[in-house]
Structure 1
Amino acid sequence: MTKVSSQHLPTFTDTESFRAFRTTPAQWLPIALDIARGHGLDTSSPHVFSAGTNLVVGLGEKLILKIFPPLLRAQFVSERGSLMQLAGHLNLPIPEIVAEGMRCGWPYLIITRLAGTLGSGVWPSLPEAQKERLLRQIGETIAAVQRAPLGALEAIEPRWDDFMRKQMQGCHSRHQRLGLAPKFLAGLDDLLRDAAKLIPMDAAPVILIGEYIPENFLLACDNGQWSLAGLFDFGDVLTGWRDYDLLGPSAFMAAGRPGRVRNLLEGFGYAKLDFALKRRLMALMLLHRASDLNAHICIEGWQEQADDLVELQELIWSG
């Protein structure tokens, strides 16, 4: 790795302190630009990305610098390993690593900047037919990522079985704390018992991005038709059972619409949507590391439309 010196990044022991630092670019942008100059890059038109977890700055139209605090080093390992492993395995563009290095124990990546329009800015206004089309493309993309060999990602932590067991142990208390309605909490223990049988713990693992959501992909329009144009943000990659990656688009995009659900699942490779698959997806949605049903299910009035978790799974994966 290239080492660049002269300006220093502080040490943080908790994420809240780091977030406060990140949201004040004046504290770190000069250091980011110093890193970029150390690699001979143009710093005349930087653009700070306010969203996201790490320090991210665009360097003109072609490059992006991502700096990871030491307490989030696992995200650097995930991002770097995923970009290296998926290179050449997808038809969809992903960033390429141009340079990498370390500043004061903070690892960083300089990657190519993808062309396209952020999905979250386009998705809400798309006609229904185009939403169905895009969800089929997302299903196909998930399947393509999962066909790629694991390579060095095979060693990424946590391991799937350990991750699932930990999520199961904390699932009830998590959703109680997040305010899930008692009528859904009442069926949670039964669902977790089913989950232990429905979710494979030792099947051959695949690459799991974890967040196929509009904020993490780019779109392009050709003659009025929008298509996937790029995928980015690989900081939370796991390896494990393939269905886990259906949860983001199911919660944030499919909205319980049968046509959307069908296109997502068919693009992924599932021709049949039966009770067992719905039950497994419901369990995985509750076990997802970012799970918060009240915040994430995009079906208006879903709390009133379902009386228990079985009715809820039928509502989310209708059709």
Structure 2
Amino acid sequence: MEPDAESYRDRLGLRGDVVRFEGGSLPVFAIGDDLVLKLFPPEYHSEVSTEVAVMEAVHGRLPVPTPRLRGVGLLDDWAYVLMSRLHGEEPVVPDVEVSVRVGEMVKALHAIEPPAVLGPVDWAAFVGERRAVCVEQQRKRGLGARWLERIPAFLDGVDLGAESSVLLHTEVMSAHLLRRNGVLSGLFDFEPAMRGAFEYEFASVGVFVTKGDRECWRALVEAYGRVPDPRRVMAYALLHVYSNMPWYLREMPDGDSFDELAVRWFGA
């Protein structure tokens, strides 16, 4: 059942019109011009600590504004996070200038110590778990048999070990960015954050920010200061918790193998 956000506004002693933001997996409301109320139903209560910890860890430490925590608590069965409101519009991508700014932002993000609350505790175990369900996940998404049968061999041929953990947003995409007056004016939505290999971040960045544009990808990784291995990024694109390979293949440049896609999508 949809929560009564106006009632929650009144119970929190807030003022201003209540406007629900479109999209997103959780209900999020603007409260006037200055505040945002994000609500978590019981099955998502465990994500509140991640949202709060990462929001506090990154605030003021990135070259892009992020929300400031204003409050956290419980209203009936719904947990809530109250935060400052960012302003701007979703940037149009791919765009070279946006790619540069995102590269700088991700570099700063990955330099921040991951909050203790973040998992997974064992990245190798997480990767193993993702590998075990990868083919079935992509099958449920509608991936064709010729691609499904190639997944195990491709993953077997990519070394995903020996990488130190960094703070990962995990869903750096245009939908979680804002742009105003020609500059990035916001990064938000931290509840999916994790700790893990830096290339995992570049899977979503490559699909949802640079979108297979070679010039934009080059600009982004140059701003980041490190060129990720295309095959490792391709592997994480398959293993990502929210991976949807059929959608990627519709939206991104085509190829005849995962190795070819790795170069086309994530090759500098």
Counterpart for residue 177 of structure 1: 140
Partner of 2:108: 144
Shift of 1:157: 4.5
Check the 8 A contact 1:78/1:156 in 2, yes or no.
no
- 1:237 matched to 2:193? The reply is yes
Distance 1:249 1:298, change over 3 A: farther
Unaligned runs of 5+ in 2: none
In structure 2, the partner of 1:135 is 99
**Residue matched to 1:282:** 234
1:8 matched residue in structure 2:
none
Check whether the contact 1:62–1:112 (CA below 8 A) recurs between aligned residues: yes
Match of 1:208 in 2: 168
CA distance in 1, matches of 2:218, 2:253: 22
**Structure with larger Rg:** 1
User: 2:207·2:252 contact (CA, 8 Å) conserved in 1?
Assistant: no
Distance change >3 Å, CA 207–CA 72, structure 1 → 2: same
Question: 1:179-217: per-residue Cα shift (whole Å, max 9, x none)?
Answer: 22333223211122123xx213x6431111111111101
Cα contact 1:253–1:298 (8 A) shared by 2 = no
Corresponding residue SS for 2:72: strand
What residue in structure 2 maps to residue 84 of structure 1?
56
Structure 2 counterparts to residues 44-83 of structure 1, below 5 A: 45-83=17-55
Moved more, 176-185 or 57-66: 176-185
Q: Identify the residue that residue 11 of structure 2 maps to in structure 1.
A: 38
Structure 1 position 199 matched with structure 2 position 163: no
TM-score, normalised via structure 2 length: 0.91
Query: How many residues end up aligned between the 2 structures?
Result: 268
Q: Secondary structure of the residue that 1:162 maps to in structure 2?
A: helix
Aligned to 1:262, what secondary structure does the other structure show?
helix
Q: Deviations over 1:1-26 (max 9, x none)?
A: xxxxxxxxxxxxxxxxxxxx34xxxx
Cα deviation for residue 113 of structure 1 reads 0.3
Is 1:307 aligned to residue 256 of structure 2?
A: yes
| Structure 2 residue 266 is matched with structure 1 residue 317 | yes
The partner residue of 1:165 within 121, 124, 128 is: 128
1:205-243 per-residue CA deviation (whole Å, 9 max, x = no partner) reads: 11111111111010012xxxx221110011101111111
1:34-69 CA-to-partner distances (Å, cap 9, x unmatched) read 3322332104x1101231122211111100111101
Q: What amino acid maps onto 1:75 in structure 2?
A: E
- What is residue 216 of structure 2 aligned with on the other side? 260
> 1:156-193: per-residue Cα shift (whole Å, max 9, x none)?
34642332111100111222232223332232111221
**8 Å Cα contact 2:63-2:104 kept in structure 1:** no
Normalised by the length of structure 1, the TM-score is: 0.78
| Structure 1 residue 110: Cα displacement | 0.9
1:311 partner letter: E
2:62 aligned with 1:94: no
Q: Percent identity?
A: 24
Task: Structure 1 unaligned segments of length 5 or more: list them.
Answer: 1-20, 23-27
What is the alpha-carbon root mean square deviation over aligned residues?
A: 2.0
Greater fraction helix? 1
